[in-house]
Chains A and B, each alone.
Chain A
Amino acid sequence: MSPDLWSLIWDILQSKLFLELVFIPGIAFIALFTVIVVWAERKILARVMMRYGPLHVGKVAGILQTIADTLKLLFKEFIPPRRAHKAAYYLTPVFVASVPTLALTAIPFSKDWVVFPSDLGLLIAFAVFALSPLLAMITGWACNNRYTVIGSLRVIFQDVAAEIPLLLSALGVVMLSGSFNLVNIVESQRRLWFAFLQPLGALVFFIALIGEIERVPFDIPTAEQELVFGWKTEYGGILFGLLMFGEYITFAAGTLLFVTLYLGGYLGPSFLPPMAWILIKMGILVFLLILIRGAYPRLRIDQLLSIGWKWLIPLAILNVLVTMDLIYFYPWILGG
């Protein structure tokens, strides 16, 4: 190979984009997050239920259990249903696992550590979030099974009930910071986190987020006890692994978005780098979400809809009105 090619490869290896794509928030971060969070979730849930959880694989507290499970999934056979739409059946898990990673590209991990810096970062994240129910719907339909179809219908119901309050409550943040750019949003929280400026909006966003990323108590589309495994019923082997992977990337993206919008993102005292701060805040939020999974029972679909329509959306609109008042009467809050 010519020296030109070598220097080109060396340039690519050194470039920031490469580091971002490979480490944070790229492949290494996603893989590590999934491995650790799946393990932590099993361990924490086990402790909440006074069990041990993973214990033996990897000597220390079963830390390698997730890797062992992934290996198992890799070697398992998957059997497509005879009446399934084959192309959609095989392709959608790939998209389910890869589309949510796009949301991570918009999240700033420090002032200049964004994969895709854009003035519309928040909208990009929401657009990606809006795509995943579509994929779930296609998956459920492609499997041609009653459970998957019911599951994907529930995804759509839930999405309408969760996504509108999600967007409306994020509107308050946008009004306060005056920008859709996530870096600007974080920078305008230097004086006070938005979670303190608009606790109502943060609460609505948090609840709607749990619904959006389909976690307990809003995991209605994959309700194991009623629907076998919801829209993922027909999958096995590594295709199922990809679906779970996608679920946990959505989890990561959702928590990162909440941290960015309400908890000051990468801001923090300067003895730790900004990247560490956003990861610490994210870790606390992930722990809280896992604890919520251990504490609350699943809601029925009609209960979720009544929460979404009767409480979250009115509260989000109220939050927007209060924010308007705040900006009009007390502009010093914004530091202006």
Chain B
Amino acid sequence: MSVVVRTLKPLCLAFTHMFRRVFTIKYPFQAPVIEDDYRGRIQFFPERCISCGICESVCPTAAIKLVEVKELEGFSEVKKFKKPQLDFGRCCFCNFCVDYCPSEALKSTWLVELAEYEKSKLTYTPYKLSKQPERPKLLPKPKLVKLEISKVRGAGHAPLKKERGKK
């Protein structure tokens, strides 16, 4: 008898799964909320940087290069010091630079949509790196959803409440 039960159980399970909620997020139309300290695009705080070069030497993919910045580039108070320039075409988002930076001048952010049409645009100058992360304008504005795991309904996602939709 147990053979019959064991044989039929997957079939019943498959049938009940048909009425579960769908796990897929329809990506360009929906997007999951990504927490602020996600390992996304690196943000740079120039006023904290002491130009020690640790980030350059610790980066496993040699994505960071210290370059000279000029006042013209938007930094008024920092003068002729070398600041990190980051090539996101190489970066593997390991966060070593963030962890090793002695003055916490680098920080990872939630932005993961970094695609560009030209490879050169992936190289972020220190000035570009210091800007707030922003969702690119090319994409349609997605509805944000929140991932959740519940014992009753299983893994899935639910639409986000208004007050958290700041991104």
Interface positions of A (Cβ within 8 A of B): 44, 47-52, 55, 291-292, 294-296
The total of interchain contacts (Cβ-Cβ below 8 angstroms) comes to 34
Which of the four size classes fits the interface of chain B?
10 to 19
Roughly how many angstroms separate A49 CA and B22 CA in the complex, as a whole number? Answer: 8
Task: Using A49-B17, A295-B14 as known contacts, list a sample of 4 further A-B pairs with CB atoms less than 8 Å apart, ordered by residue number in A.
Answer: A48-B18, A50-B23, A291-B15, A294-B14
The residue of chain B having its C-beta at the shortest distance from the C-beta of A56 within the complex is B26
A306 to chain B, nearest CB (A): 15
Task: Determine how close the nearest CB of chain A comes to the CB of B159; give it in whole angstroms.
Answer: 16
Task: Kindly identify which residue among B11, B15, B20, B26 contacts A50, using a CB–CB cutoff of 8 Å.
Answer: B20
Task: For B154, give the chain A residue with the smallest CB separation.
Answer: A50
Interface pairs (17), CB distance under 8 Å: A44-B18, A47-B19, A48-B17, A48-B18, A50-B21, A50-B22, A50-B154, A51-B22, A51-B24, A52-B22, A52-B24, A52-B26, A291-B11, A291-B15, A292-B11, A294-B14, A296-B10
Q: How far is the CA of A291 from the CA of B23 in the complex (A)?
A: 19
Shortest CB–CB separation between residue B165 and chain A, in angstroms? 24
Q: B15 contacts which chain A residues (CB < 8 A)?
A: 291
- Do A295 and B10 have beta carbons less than 8 Å apart? yes
Tell me the complex Cα distance, A49–B24, Å.
10
Q: How far is the CA of A51 from the CA of B23 in the complex (A)?
A: 6
B140 to chain A, nearest CB (A): 14
Residues of B within 8 A of A (CB): 10-11, 13-15, 17-24, 26, 154
Most B-side CB within 10 Å, residue of A47, A294, A295: A295
**Which chain B positions have C-beta within 8 A of A291?**
11, 14-15
A294–B14 Cα distance when bound, in Å, is 7
A51 to B27, CA, bound (A): 13
Do the beta carbons of B10 and A50 come within 8 Å of each other? no
CB distance from B143 to the nearest CB of A (A): 15
Q: Are B18 and A47 in contact (CB under 8 A)?
A: yes
A49 to B18, CA, bound (A): 8
Across the interface, A295 reaches (CB within 8 A) one of B11, B19, B21, B154, namely: B11
List of B residues within 8 angstroms of A47 by Cβ: 17-19, 22
| Cβ–Cβ contact B22 & A295, under 8 A | no
Task: Report the minimum CB–CB distance from B29 to chain A (whole Å).
Answer: 10
Closest B residue, CB atoms, query A51:
B24
